[in-house]
Amino acid sequence: MIAVALADWSAAGIKALVGRDRPPVVYARSKALVPVPHDASFPSGHAATSFAAATVLAFAFPRLAPALFVLAAAVAFSRVYVGVHYPLDIVGGAALGVLVALALRALLHFRRRASTVNMRAGS
């Protein structure tokens, strides 16, 4: 859950900095499959959070990794399909989600390692 939250917050922060307009979706605005968002387009928050979750879960359940990433890709593609993101938005969001999850995993690994070293030094 931490990785998903960090990916979401990171995407929102980058959106505020980049400020890229959403695709012109005249059809989607009149018969929207989803409510048309009013924030910036890059990166896709849905792609960031789904790929962050898929990455974390893939480490916990390696045999499910292909299915998890297919599901994350489907979520990301859906945002282009409904017309609220450009393809580059979902690529950026997916990369952001994976990077956040990997950085969080590395941080936890180094904290555990430092904790183990400190416990051995204190013995």
Question: Is residue 10 pLDDT above 70, yes or no?
Answer: yes
Residue with the bigger pLDDT between 7 and 121: it is 7
What's the Cα-to-Cα distance from 54 to each of 25, 26, 27, 84, 111, rounded to whole Å?
29, 32, 32, 22, 23
Q: Encode pLDDT of 51-89 as tens digits.
A: 999 999 999 999 999 999 999 999 999 988 888 889 999
Question: Is residue 15 pLDDT above 50, yes or no?
Answer: yes
The structural domain count of the chain equals: 1
pTM for the whole structure? 0.82
What's the Cα-to-Cα distance from 60 to each of 32, 40, 53, 55, 114, rounded to whole Å?
37, 33, 11, 9, 22
Q: Residues near 86 by Cβ (< 8 Å), separated by ≥ 6?
A: 23, 41, 42, 80
Task: Please report the pLDDT score of residue 77 as a whole number.
Answer: 93
Find the domain containing 93 and state its range: 2-122
Task: Please report the pLDDT score of residue 88 as a whole number.
Answer: 94
Size of the chain, expressed as the number of residues it contains: 123
Output the domain CATH number for residue 87.
1.20.144.10
> How many angstroms separate the CA atoms of 114 and 120, rounded?
10
